[in-house]
């Protein structure tokens, strides 16, 4: 089915929800209702938490679409001006968190009041006294019309710090506020008057149960957040204010806060345990990403496109022996933005760059290299505020195996620690081996070996435990780092000229003068050594599948080469060949010992067995250490 026009039409959408809505794809069936979306729609959850690109704004955009929510809705997205007002807002006599909560409560009250005034005029005959009071309050405090959030916040902040015009609620100017013990207490009393006025208007209209509640949504707070105390207080104040407003306004107003997980998880405040029931964390599985990909493909290329056609005709059936969808989604972090970028890049590589009418395995591999480079850079930018040193940690994993033990990482980190501490002195306490492991695991860069599985951060997984010693670089970043093998093993090269120099052996030219029988027996001993090593590796139950496969692959190359030489033993220098293999096994054992993997449970002795076999092969060859050994019997 996959012809040129279909591939040309195939498009998985924009990476950001705002432009996805503008392009229309998000609203043409490309949105996938998730547990987080259902929790937001039903009102069961107030906090939608997820890392960058996980779909928070997509849920928000979907909720603002026509026909999704039956009540009123208002989206609050602070810009830098608004963020500056929120960060610097203070009240004498109140802690920072409590002061920030008051300014957020004022924002919610004003948005609700503005909605009620408009709604009463549209849906109710005339206006009750409480609605008229709200209208007068808004007018007297220049809040009746919209405008930039930053300007309104500046005005509201001045009112709370000095005095709001409260005559609309029957309170005279001053309202004996001079008797308030502090600026904070005066602001709280003023805000109580405003909120009670809003609550009376909600009760007078009696809309509860008639239509949906007013939905107040706060999104993109990360645009104005920094890892500073004032920024954290701004977010904590938002949480406290949302909890207060939800209790005050009841079912007539619903609050939805969309927060990045790294921001939320960095907060520490006394009331934090009261929000667990309101939390809903966005989690994506491979299956949910498959569903998303199909929904977006159908939205662009036609609803008749099936999953089988997408993954077997448009895309290749397999990439490097792995099912294509599994290959793709295991090599991106589990979030829609990454999946969309990777899928679009595959389409563009095939259709635009290579002029094909379907995506081939070569196109996917080419896109994988570009995508990996993108994501490594994006990860550093994503955590630039929270972990500005993150990019400086990547070289610790460059051009080496993607499996690394705590011991090996400790050696590498020790060499870089002085430079890191000099460049980032404010983060010296975090720049320890344990701190670096925690940061890399939390960012999704490293996974940890647990039993037979490798676990990456997400959901309710435990943080890295002190006894856990084996880590894996996420497949998303391996190509960009040049870490595509499980461990950094030098591949077997049977024709290596360096062997003679290292061993000090001068081999005679291959003239066929060596007895054939002896050569055959030597090669058979080499084959036996390879089988012995493969058996030892197979018993190394503590190793992951990737590590075991990598070592097995190198030993099998030696075995296959020996088998090929066995058929033509008379024309090769078998002694020299055994010395080459012995030298390779010695180097391989050293690499295993350096990596720390040979000490893994169930894997003890693999490196030592390699050393033993290397010594035996040297003796058989009459070897580099001057010992004829077992060769007398050959």
Look up the CATH number of the domain holding residue 289. 1.10.8
CB contact set of 191 (below 8 Å; sequence gap of 6+): 102, 105, 106, 109, 160
Beta bridge partners of 450: 453
140 and 41 inside one domain: yes
Whole-angstrom distance, CA of residue 485 vs CA of residue 547: 8
pLDDT (0 to 100) of residue 509: 39
68 and 171 inside one domain: yes
pLDDT (0 to 100) of residue 605: 79
443 and 502 inside one domain: no
Tally of structural domains, the chain = 4
Q: Which of 534, 611, 520 is nearest to 563 (CA)?
A: 520
The answer to whether residue 167 sits within a structural domain is yes
Whole-angstrom distance, CA of residue 195 vs CA of residue 318: 61
125 in helix, strand or coil? coil
Whole-angstrom distance, CA of residue 249 vs CA of residue 432: 48
How buried is 554 (Cβ within 10 angstroms: 0-12 exposed, 13-18 middle, 19+ buried)? buried
254 and 336 inside one domain: no
Give the predicted TM-score (pTM) of the model.
0.78
Number of DSSP helices (H) and strands (E) in the chain, helices first: 25, 11
The answer to whether residue 489 sits within a structural domain is no
pLDDT (0 to 100) of residue 125: 64
Whole-angstrom distance, CA of residue 521 vs CA of residue 120: 98
The answer to whether residue 29 sits within a structural domain is no
pLDDT (0 to 100) of residue 625: 42
The answer to whether residue 488 sits within a structural domain is no
97 and 233 inside one domain: yes
pLDDT (0 to 100) of residue 194: 93
316 and 338 inside one domain: yes
pLDDT (0 to 100) of residue 621: 83
pLDDT (0 to 100) of residue 241: 94
Alpha helices for 278-360 (secondary structure H): 286-301, 307-309, 324-330, 336-348
Expressed as residue numbers, the domain containing 369 is 4-15+285-382
Which stretches of the chain drop beneath a pLDDT of 70? 1-5, 16-30, 66-70, 122-127, 146, 173-180, 209-210, 459-460, 494-517, 568-571, 598-604, 623-634
347 and 473 inside one domain: no
65 and 106 inside one domain: yes
119 and 229 inside one domain: yes
The answer to whether residue 508 sits within a structural domain is yes
39 and 9 inside one domain: no
Instruction: Select from 382, 416, 432 the last residue of a domain.
Output: 382
pLDDT (0 to 100) of residue 2: 41
CA angle 229-232-238, nearest 5°?
Answer: 140
The answer to whether residue 603 sits within a structural domain is yes
Whole-angstrom distance, CA of residue 237 vs CA of residue 242: 8
Instruction: Select from 319, 349, 382 the last residue of a domain.
Output: 382
347 and 417 inside one domain: no
Instruction: Select from 446, 481, 516 the last residue of a domain.
Output: 481
Q: Give φ, ψ of 258 to 5 degrees.
A: -105, 110
Query: Around 546, how many Cα atoms within 13 Å sit in the side-chain half-sphere?
Result: 21
165 and 308 inside one domain: no
The answer to whether residue 190 sits within a structural domain is yes
The answer to whether residue 250 sits within a structural domain is yes
pLDDT (0 to 100) of residue 233: 92
> Encoding tokens for residue 203?
């009760």
């Amino acid at each position: 089915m996959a012809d040129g026009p279909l591939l040309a039409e195939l498009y998985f959408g924009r990476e950001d929800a705002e432009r996805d809505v503008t392009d229309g794809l998000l609203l043409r069936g490309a949105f996938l209702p998730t547990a987080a979306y259902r929790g937001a729609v039903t009102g069961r959850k107030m906090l939608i938490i997820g890392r960058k690109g996980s779909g928070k704004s997509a849920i928000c955009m979907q909720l603002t679409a026509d026909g999704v929510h039956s009540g009123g809705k208002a989206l609050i997205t602070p810009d830098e001006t608004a963020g500056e007002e929120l960060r610097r807002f203070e009240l004498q006599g109140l802690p920072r968190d409590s002061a920030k909560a008051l300014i957020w409560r004022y924002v919610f009250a004003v948005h609700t009041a503005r909605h009620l005034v408009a709604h009463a005029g549209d849906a109710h005959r005339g206006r009750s006294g409480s609605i008229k009071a709200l209208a007068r309050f808004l007018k007297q405090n220049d809040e009746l019309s919209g405008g930039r959030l930053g300007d309104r916040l500046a005005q509201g902040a001045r009112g709370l710090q000095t005095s709001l015009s409260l005559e609309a609620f029957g309170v005279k100017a001053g309202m004996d506020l001079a008797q308030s013990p502090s600026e904070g207490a005066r602001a709280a009393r003023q805000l109580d008057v405003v909120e009670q006025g809003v609550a009376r208007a909600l009760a007078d209209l009696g809309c509860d149960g008639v239509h949906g509640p007013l939905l107040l949504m706060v999104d993109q707070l990360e645009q104005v957040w920094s890892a500073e105390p004032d920024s954290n207080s701004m977010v904590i104040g938002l949480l406290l204010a949302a909890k207060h407003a939800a209790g005050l306004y009841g079912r007539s107003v619903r609050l939805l806060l969309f927060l990045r997980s790294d921001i939320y998880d960095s907060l520490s405040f006394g009331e934090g345990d009261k929000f667990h029931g309101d939390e809903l964390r966005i989690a994506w599985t491979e299956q949910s990403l498959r569903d998303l990909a199909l929904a977006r493909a159908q939205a662009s290329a036609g609803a008749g496109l099936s999953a089988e056609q997408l993954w077997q005709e448009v895309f290749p059936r397999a990439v490097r022996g792995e099912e294509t969808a599994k290959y793709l989604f295991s090599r991106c972090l589990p979030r829609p933005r990454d999946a969309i970028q990777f899928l679009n890049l595959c389409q563009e590589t095939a259709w635009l760059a290579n002029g094909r009418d379907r995506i081939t395995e070569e196109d996917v591999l080419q896109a994988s290299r570009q995508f990996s480079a993108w994501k490594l850079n994006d990860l550093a930018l994503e955590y630039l505020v929270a972990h500005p040193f993150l990019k400086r940690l990547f070289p610790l994993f460059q051009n080496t195996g993607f499996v690394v033990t705590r011991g090996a990482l400790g050696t590498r980190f020790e060499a870089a620690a002085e430079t890191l501490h000099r460049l980032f002195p404010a983060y010296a306490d975090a720049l320890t081996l344990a701190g670096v492991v925690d940061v890399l695991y939390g960012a999704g860069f490293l996974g940890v070996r647990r039993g037979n599985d490798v676990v990456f951060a997400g959901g309710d997984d435990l943080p890295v435990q002190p006894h856990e010693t084996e880590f894996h670089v996420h497949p998303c970043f391996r190509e960009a780092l040049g870490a595509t093998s499980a461990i950094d093993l030098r591949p077997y090269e049977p024709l290596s000229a360096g062997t003679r120099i290292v061993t000090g052996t001068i081999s005679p030219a291959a003239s066929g003068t060596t007895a054939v029988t002896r050569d055959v027996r030597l090669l058979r001993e080499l084959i036996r050594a390879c089988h012995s090593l493969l058996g030892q590796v197979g018993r190394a139950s503590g190793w992951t599948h990737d590590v075991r496969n990598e070592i097995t692959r190198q030993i099998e190359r030696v075995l296959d080469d020996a088998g090929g030489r066995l058929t033509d033993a008379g024309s090769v220098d078998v002694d020299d060949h055994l010395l080459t293999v012995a030298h390779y096994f010695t180097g391989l054992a050293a690499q295993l010992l350096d990596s720390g993997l040979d000490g893994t449970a169930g894997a003890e002795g693999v490196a030592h067995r390699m050393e033993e076999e290397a010594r035996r092969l040297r003796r058989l060859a009459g070897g580099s250490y001057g010992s004829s050994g077992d060769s007398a019997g050959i």
